[in-house]
Structure 1
Amino acid sequence: MPGNFACAAAPQIQRISLGSERRPLLVIDGLSAEPESLVEFAASAPPFRARGGDYYPGVRKPLPQAYAENLCETLDRVLREVFELPPGARAQPLLCALSIATTPPQQLRPIQRLPHFDTSDPNQLAVVHYLCPPQLGGTAFYRHRASGFEFIDSERLHGYAAQLKHQVMASPPAPGYLDGDSALFEQIACIEARFNRALIYRGNQLHSGNIDPHCGLSAAPRTGRLTATSFIRYSVPGTP
């Protein structure tokens, strides 16, 4: 089976502070030791498929757990330092998959037209590893105008969810992928895609794929917006 899931020994790492709440974002260039091998794995059998209950606007294919394990091992020190992870916490990959954006703009569900967060848990990290060229779109981060929130934790969750539901019911978002500022959200950062670049951020950060449908929504791994996506939760053994 094709695929080398090792990380480069010394990728280039840049730390950015997002928005007014100054939450950390890591931009890592040259993450994979052999990124072309990941593309070959993506193009091999089995095929990509849509996943029921998944809000991702496209199709996915599982990656071996070794991909996320290698990532955590290579970046362990910097992840613990930058994201202030609990002492003794261990990494648990919750998702490790290749993803390709394929959904036409007019078929997006309302929730897919808005910035989202993956979890309210501050110790769960999201990794987006681009295996595509810049024109297919990077990732943008947002502030909710009414609340000023740029991330959603357990204390903010209930009030934010109720407020956003009321806003969306009163004025549903127009069909299409989010592109910059909107009536409800202000874009605070936009990081472009670059082949073999990865972004790592807390999963409770408000974000959205910066997808340009005019550049194509091909389902072919070698021409589509191919990314490797991981959700990694850090928890201390014996705690919920």
Structure 2
Amino acid sequence: MTIAIRMPPDVQSVQIGEQAVVFIDDFLTEPTEMVEAACQSQFSPCPGYEQGKGYPGLRATAPSEYSLRLVELLEPLIKINFQVPEQLDLNKSACEFSLTTVAPDRLGVMQRTPHFDSSSPYHMAVLLYLCGPEHGGTGFYRHKATGFQRITSENLQTYSDVYSDELHRAPPKPRYFDDSDDHFQFLGMMPARFNRLVVYPGSLLHSACINPGIGVCADPRRGRLTVNTFFDS
């Protein structure tokens, strides 16, 4: 298979709260090849699956050629759009296909609220949607009690203390998080769109907005198929 990025990429940015989220539509020239690759892949549960922690579903390694193409474009794009110092080297995680497969009533407590990936200032999440808008998108939030939208090394302890106390006092209902509740304010959503690439700081409070009627599915052709990658210095 041949993986190619459509050139030149149409890089767009949208402001959600106080933070920018970058996206590129029609990212790959032949995105259906990635779907076919996912269909041929061996998926397995994510770490923490049985304990109700982490990503609520299955993952499989994406094609190495996708990984190579991604690095060529994303390193300069991230440095330009997210004020990453030019001298810093960015390290990329493995590129993985992801499918949500956990039913809402089986979600762990922390899987029912917005989360952040890392408090590192240059940790970036890169998400390629290989599913359509019927699968929701990615929502971004502000924590009401602290006012934090982004979790940093400076505010991590404060946020963790307040968040843990909230979970203890009133565990969230067993559902995939989407709109505002007593503790988190919904700021906006990046809608899913087939072949849309989304880039945002992993320190932002966010959540996959999932339609459980169709999004909890292990079939790459019908489920909420994405490719997840992380960059950090």
**Band of TM-score, shorter chain:** over 0.9
Letter of the structure 1 residue corresponding to residue 42 of structure 2: P
Partner of 1:134: 133
Asked if 1:50 corresponds to 2:48, the answer is: no
Letter of the structure 2 residue corresponding to residue 116 of structure 1: H
The alpha-carbon deviation at position 65 of structure 1 amounts to: 4.2
Structure 2 distance, partners of 1:146, 1:175, is: 22
Secondary structure of 1:141's partner?
strand
Letter of the structure 1 residue corresponding to residue 218 of structure 2: A
Asked if 1:178 corresponds to 2:177, the answer is: yes
Partner of 1:167: 166
Secondary structure of 2:174's partner?
coil
Letter of the structure 2 residue corresponding to residue 190 of structure 1: M
Letter of the structure 2 residue corresponding to residue 29 of structure 1: D
Distance of aligned partners of 1:216 and 1:24 in 2 relative to their CA distance in 1, 3 Å threshold: closer
Partner of 1:238: none
Structure 1 distance, partners of 2:197, 2:164, is: 32
Secondary structure of 1:190's partner?
strand
Specify every segment of 5 or more residues in structure 2 that has no aligned partner in the other structure, as ranges.
Answer: none
TM-score normalised by the chain length of structure 1: 0.91
Most deviating of 59-68 and 129-138: 59-68
The alpha-carbon deviation at position 71 of structure 1 amounts to: 1.6
Does the 8 A contact of 1:133 with 1:195 survive in 2?
A: yes
Specify every segment of 5 or more residues in structure 1 that has no aligned partner in the other structure, as ranges.
Answer: 236-240
Does the 8 A contact of 2:119 with 2:152 survive in 1?
A: yes
Structure 1 distance, partners of 2:96, 2:168, is: 33
Per-residue displacement from partner, 1:125-149 (whole Å, max 9, x unpaired)? 1011100111012100000000010
Structure 2 distance, partners of 1:4, 1:173, is: 44
Does the 8 A contact of 1:95 with 1:232 survive in 2?
A: no
Distance of aligned partners of 1:216 and 1:64 in 2 relative to their CA distance in 1, 3 Å threshold: closer
Secondary structure of 1:10's partner?
coil
Does the 8 A contact of 2:138 with 2:192 survive in 1?
A: yes
- Over the matched positions of the two proteins, sequence identity in percent amounts to 38
- State how 1:145-160 maps to structure 2 within 5 Å: 145-160=144-159
Partner of 1:199: 198
Structure 2 distance, partners of 1:154, 1:188, is: 22
The alpha-carbon deviation at position 170 of structure 1 amounts to: 0.4
Structure 2 distance, partners of 1:90, 1:68, is: 17
Letter of the structure 2 residue corresponding to residue 105 of structure 1: P
How many residues align? The count is 229
Asked if 1:37 corresponds to 2:33, the answer is: yes
TM-score normalised by the chain length of structure 2: 0.93
Tell me which of 1, 19, 36 is aligned to 1:23: 19
Secondary structure of 1:77's partner?
helix
Distance of aligned partners of 1:99 and 1:68 in 2 relative to their CA distance in 1, 3 Å threshold: same
Per-residue displacement from partner, 1:100-134 (whole Å, max 9, x unpaired)? 11110000001100100000011111011100111
The alpha-carbon deviation at position 216 of structure 1 amounts to: 4.0
Letter of the structure 2 residue corresponding to residue 24 of structure 1: A
Does the 8 A contact of 1:72 with 1:91 survive in 2?
A: no
Structure 1 distance, partners of 2:64, 2:123, is: 17
Per-residue displacement from partner, 1:173-194 (whole Å, max 9, x unpaired)? 0011012111110110111100
Secondary structure of 1:112's partner?
helix
Secondary structure of 2:7's partner?
coil
CA RMSD in angstroms comes to 1.4
Secondary structure of 1:140's partner?
strand
